[in-house]
Amino acid sequence: MSLMMLKELIRNSRRINKYFCHNYHLQVHRNYNFSYDRLKEYRGDTPTRLLNSAAGNAVAYNNFITLDNSLNPKPLNFNLIWLRDHCRCPECYNYSTNQKRCSILDIAQNASVKECTVENNILKIIWTDNHKSTFSLEWLSQFYNNTKKCECPVLWNKRIMKSLNIKSIDVKDFLYSDKGILELLTSVLRFGVGFIKNVLPTKEATEQVIQKISHTQRTFFGDMWEFTDSLDHEDTAYTRDALGAHTDNTYFSEAAGLQVFHCLHHDGEGGETLLVDGFYVAKHLKEKYPTSYQRLTSTFIESEFKEAEKHYLACGPILKLNSITGELEQVRFNMYDRAPLKTVAMENMQDFYEDFINLSKIICDPQNEWWFKLQPGTVLIFNNWRVLHGRAAYTGHRRIAGCYIGYSDWHSKARTLGLL
C-alpha cells in the first residue's frame, strides 16, 4: 500500500467502529510504523475521538502502546513487553509473596496486542494469546512522573550546623511511638545525623533502641561492640589516639549504612566526637576543583583491613555516584585503610594525589568540622555513606558501645515509613 493510499484510507475511516479502529491501527503501524503525531495529522482529528473513549485513548504500535489521557500533559509510551511483564493479574503476580510468577521467556513471546481500550482511566489489553491485563492510568503515570516525596539532604558545615538545631528524640517516643522513629530517620535522611536521648548507658539498652530501626550488621567487630583503649582489634579506633575524619568499612564491598555510638563512660579529658558532612565537602570540591571532583568520582582505589586470618579488600571511587541519577551517593574516605595504590597508572599518579589532597584539605578545614562531646545517655546515629567521623585524643578510661546497621536495612525501614 502506498503512502497516498494509506492517507486516503485514514481520511475515510472517520465512521469506523471502535474495534475496527484498534485493529486498523495495529495493522497500519505494524506495516508503516507511523508516529502518533503523523497519524493525527493525516486524520485531521485527534486519536481521542478516534478511539472514542471518555477518559483517554490508547494506540498500539509495533512494540508499544501510546496513551493519551487527562492525567498527563503528554502522551505516554509503554513498551509491550514491559506491559506484559508488569501484568498484575493473579496469574502473573503472586499477591501473597509480592513476586512475579512468569518467566521472561513466556512474557516476551506473548507480548503482542489483539485489542486495547481505555475506559474510566483503566487500560485494558487483550493479548494475542487471549490473556487479559488491566492497568490503572494512575499506576502507569508514576513511571513517568516522579512525584514521590523524598527527604532532600540539607548540607552543612560548622556554621550551618549551629543553626540547624538538630533535636534529640526522647527514648520513650522513639521506642513506643511511630512518630519517634519517623523523626529520627527523617533527621538522618536530611542531615545525615540523628540523636536519641535518655537511653540507659548500657550496651543492652543501646541495642534495644537500635532494634527499633533494624537488626545490627554483624562484622568481624561483632554485632553490638564496645570499644575501649584495650587493643581488641588491630585498628586505631581501639587506642586513645586522635582519629581524623573518615568513613568506615571502605574495605567492604558494601560499607555499613548507619553507625551508632553511645558513650557509656568517660572519666578523663578529651575524646570529643568530630563529624564532617561528606556531601557538603564534595559539593565544595566540585565548585572549587571540578576536575578533581570528576576524577575522584571515576578513579577506583583499593582499601583493606588486615589482621590475623583476615584480609578484607574492596575497590571503589572515593566519591561514588548513583549510577542512575548521577548524584553523589557515597563518600568512601579513609586515610588509614588505603591499600598500596596500584589501580592508578603512574603517569596519572600526580593528578590523583593532587585531587586527594584537594579533598582532604576541605575535609580538614575547621570551618567544616562539627565537634561535640558525647554524653552517657545520648545515642548518636549517623549515615556512614555521607558523614565522616573522628575523635580527639583522650585521657582516662572511656567505653563506647555501638554497632553498624546495613544500608539496605535502614533504607528498608525508611521505605516502610514512606520516607523513600
Which stretches of the chain bind Zn ion, using CB under 5 A?
87, 89, 91-92
How far out from the chain centre does Cα 410 lie? 11
Which DSSP string corresponds to 129-177? TS-EEEEEHHHHHTTT------PPP----HHHHHHH-PPEEEHHHHHH-
Q: Which is nearer to Zn ion, 90 or 222 (CB)?
A: 90
With vertex at residue 386, the alpha carbon angle to CA 325 and CA 259, rounded to the nearest 5 degrees, is 130
CA distance 316 to 335: 14
Contact of 236 with 391, CB cutoff 8 Å:
no
CB of 354 to Zn ion, least distance (A): 57
Q: Which is nearer to Zn ion, 111 or 224 (CB)?
A: 111
- Rg of the chain's alpha carbons, rounded to an integer? 29
CA distance 380 to 12: 73
Q: Which is nearer to Zn ion, 95 or 340 (CB)?
A: 95
Helix axes 349-363, 290-298, angle to 10 degrees: 110
Q: Which is nearer to Zn ion, 87 or 328 (CB)?
A: 87
Q: Is 52 helix (H, G, I), strand (E, B) or coil?
A: coil
CB of 131 to Zn ion, least distance (A): 6
Q: Which is nearer to Zn ion, 54 or 89 (CB)?
A: 89
Which DSSP string corresponds to 300-335? EEEEEEEETTEEEEEEEESEEEPTTT-SEEEE---S
CA distance 258 to 363: 20
Rounded to the nearest 5°, which phi and psi values hold at 306?
-130, 130
Q: Which is nearer to Zn ion, 92 or 126 (CB)?
A: 92
Task: Using alpha carbons, select from 360, 372, 394, 363 the residue that is nearest to residue 242.
Answer: 394
CB of 98 to Zn ion, least distance (A): 15
CB of 101 to Zn ion, least distance (A): 9
How far out from the chain centre does Cα 52 lie? 42
CB of 119 to Zn ion, least distance (A): 19
CB of 133 to Zn ion, least distance (A): 5
CB of 130 to Zn ion, least distance (A): 11
Q: Which is nearer to Zn ion, 89 or 231 (CB)?
A: 89
Q: Is 270 helix (H, G, I), strand (E, B) or coil?
A: strand
CB of 116 to Zn ion, least distance (A): 14
CB of 102 to Zn ion, least distance (A): 8
CA distance 60 to 62: 7
For residue 106, give the H/E element and its range. Answer: helix 104-109
CB of 30 to Zn ion, least distance (A): 23
Q: Which is nearer to Zn ion, 133 or 206 (CB)?
A: 133
CB of 81 to Zn ion, least distance (A): 13
For residue 411, give the H/E element and its range. Answer: helix 407-416
Q: Which is nearer to Zn ion, 93 or 195 (CB)?
A: 93
CB atoms within 10 A of CB 267: 9
Q: Which is nearer to Zn ion, 87 or 405 (CB)?
A: 87
Helix axes 18-32, 3-11, angle to 10 degrees: 170
Q: Which is nearer to Zn ion, 107 or 359 (CB)?
A: 107
